[in-house]
Protein backbone atom coordinates (compact mmCIF):
# COMPACT_ATOMS: atom_id res chain seq x y z
CA UNK A 1 0.00 0.00 0.00
CA UNK A 2 2.79 2.41 0.88
CA UNK A 3 4.48 3.38 -2.37
CA UNK A 4 7.06 5.67 -0.76
CA UNK A 5 9.76 4.51 1.64
CA UNK A 6 10.05 5.90 5.15
CA UNK A 7 13.45 7.51 4.45
CA UNK A 8 11.80 10.07 2.18
CA UNK A 9 11.04 13.29 4.04
CA UNK A 10 7.97 15.49 4.02
CA UNK A 11 9.60 18.19 1.89
CA UNK A 12 10.18 15.67 -0.91
CA UNK A 13 6.56 14.49 -0.66
CA UNK A 14 5.34 18.09 -0.86
CA UNK A 15 7.46 18.73 -3.98
CA UNK A 16 6.08 15.56 -5.56
CA UNK A 17 2.53 16.67 -4.71
CA UNK A 18 3.19 20.09 -6.26
CA UNK A 19 4.30 18.48 -9.50
CA UNK A 20 1.16 16.34 -9.60
CA UNK A 21 -1.03 19.39 -8.96
CA UNK A 22 0.56 21.05 -12.00
CA UNK A 23 -0.28 17.94 -14.03
CA UNK A 24 -3.93 18.35 -13.05
CA UNK A 25 -4.01 21.76 -14.70
CA UNK A 26 -2.77 20.28 -17.99
CA UNK A 27 -5.30 17.44 -18.24
CA UNK A 28 -7.98 19.33 -20.17
CA UNK A 29 -11.65 18.44 -20.68
CA UNK A 30 -12.82 15.14 -19.24
CA UNK A 31 -15.93 12.99 -18.97
CA UNK A 32 -16.62 10.03 -16.71
CA UNK A 33 -18.26 6.79 -17.79
CA UNK A 34 -17.56 3.96 -20.18
CA UNK A 35 -17.82 3.91 -23.94
CA UNK A 36 -19.92 1.01 -25.18
CA UNK A 37 -20.73 -0.29 -28.65
CA UNK A 38 -24.48 -0.87 -28.93
CA UNK A 39 -26.13 -2.80 -31.77
CA UNK A 40 -29.77 -1.95 -32.47
CA UNK A 41 -32.50 -2.16 -35.05
CA UNK A 42 -33.79 1.14 -36.35
CA UNK A 43 -37.38 0.06 -37.03
CA UNK A 44 -37.40 0.94 -40.74
CA UNK A 45 -38.92 -2.00 -42.63
CA UNK A 46 -36.81 -1.22 -45.74
CA UNK A 47 -33.51 -1.19 -43.83
CA UNK A 48 -30.88 -3.94 -43.76
CA UNK A 49 -31.36 -4.35 -40.01
CA UNK A 50 -34.95 -5.44 -40.61
CA UNK A 51 -34.42 -7.43 -43.82
CA UNK A 52 -31.06 -9.14 -43.15
CA UNK A 53 -30.97 -8.98 -39.37
CA UNK A 54 -27.79 -6.85 -39.51
CA UNK A 55 -28.00 -4.35 -36.67
CA UNK A 56 -26.74 -0.78 -36.72
CA UNK A 57 -23.69 -0.09 -34.54
CA UNK A 58 -23.37 3.08 -32.52
CA UNK A 59 -21.36 4.22 -29.51
CA UNK A 60 -22.83 5.38 -26.23
CA UNK A 61 -21.29 6.90 -23.14
CA UNK A 62 -22.61 4.88 -20.21
CA UNK A 63 -22.57 6.28 -16.66
CA UNK A 64 -24.46 5.84 -13.40
CA UNK A 65 -26.60 8.32 -11.50
CA UNK A 66 -27.75 7.11 -8.06
CA UNK A 67 -27.23 3.50 -9.12
CA UNK A 68 -29.19 3.82 -12.37
CA UNK A 69 -27.29 3.42 -15.63
CA UNK A 70 -27.74 6.30 -18.06
CA UNK A 71 -26.53 6.54 -21.66
CA UNK A 72 -25.64 9.38 -23.99
CA UNK A 73 -25.38 8.80 -27.72
CA UNK A 74 -21.96 9.69 -29.13
CA UNK A 75 -22.20 11.17 -32.63
CA UNK A 76 -19.85 9.57 -35.16
CA UNK A 77 -17.87 12.78 -35.70
CA UNK A 78 -17.33 13.16 -31.91
CA UNK A 79 -16.21 9.61 -31.17
CA UNK A 80 -12.46 10.39 -31.10
CA UNK A 81 -13.02 13.51 -29.00
CA UNK A 82 -15.14 11.68 -26.43
CA UNK A 83 -12.55 8.88 -26.23
CA UNK A 84 -9.87 11.51 -25.51
CA UNK A 85 -12.04 13.11 -22.83
CA UNK A 86 -12.61 9.68 -21.28
CA UNK A 87 -8.85 9.00 -21.23
CA UNK A 88 -8.33 12.41 -19.60
CA UNK A 89 -10.79 11.38 -16.88
CA UNK A 90 -8.81 8.20 -16.21
CA UNK A 91 -5.60 10.24 -15.94
CA UNK A 92 -7.38 12.65 -13.60
CA UNK A 93 -8.50 9.81 -11.32
CA UNK A 94 -4.99 8.32 -11.21
CA UNK A 95 -3.39 11.68 -10.44
CA UNK A 96 -5.91 12.50 -7.70
CA UNK A 97 -5.36 9.05 -6.14
CA UNK A 98 -1.59 9.62 -6.17
CA UNK A 99 -1.98 13.05 -4.53
CA UNK A 100 -4.21 11.49 -1.90
CA UNK A 101 -1.58 8.80 -1.14
CA UNK A 102 1.10 11.47 -0.78
CA UNK A 103 -1.10 13.55 1.55
CA UNK A 104 -1.70 10.49 3.73
CA UNK A 105 2.06 9.95 3.93
CA UNK A 106 2.55 13.59 4.95
CA UNK A 107 -0.04 13.15 7.71
CA UNK A 108 1.63 9.95 8.95
CA UNK A 109 5.09 11.51 8.97
CA UNK A 110 4.08 14.79 10.62
CA UNK A 111 4.27 13.68 14.26
CA UNK A 112 7.40 11.61 13.73
CA UNK A 113 9.30 14.49 12.09
CA UNK A 114 8.07 16.96 14.72
CA UNK A 115 9.43 14.73 17.47
CA UNK A 116 12.77 14.38 15.67
CA UNK A 117 13.05 18.18 15.45
CA UNK A 118 12.56 18.45 19.22
CA UNK A 119 15.23 15.81 19.79
CA UNK A 120 12.91 13.06 21.00
CA UNK A 121 12.40 9.63 19.54
Structure confidence at residue 16 as a pLDDT band (50, 70, 90):
confident
Q: Is residue 14 part of a domain?
A: yes
Strand-strand pairing, 56-65 and 34-40? antiparallel
Distance (Å, whole) CA 9 – CA 117: 13
Q: Above 70 in pLDDT, residue 120?
A: no
The predicted pLDDT at position 59 comes to 95
Q: Is residue 3 part of a domain?
A: no
Q: Is residue 2 part of a domain?
A: no
The predicted pLDDT at position 76 comes to 92
79 is in which domain, residue-wise? 10-118
Q: Above 90 in pLDDT, residue 48?
A: no
Residue bearing the bigger pLDDT, 116 or 59: 59
Query: How many domains are there within the chain?
Result: 1
Q: Is residue 92 part of a domain?
A: yes
Q: Is residue 5 part of a domain?
A: no
The predicted pLDDT at position 18 comes to 87
Amino acid sequence: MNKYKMKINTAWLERKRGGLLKELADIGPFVDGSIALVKRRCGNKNCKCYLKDEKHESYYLMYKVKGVTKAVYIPVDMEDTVREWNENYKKLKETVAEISRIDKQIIRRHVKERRLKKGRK
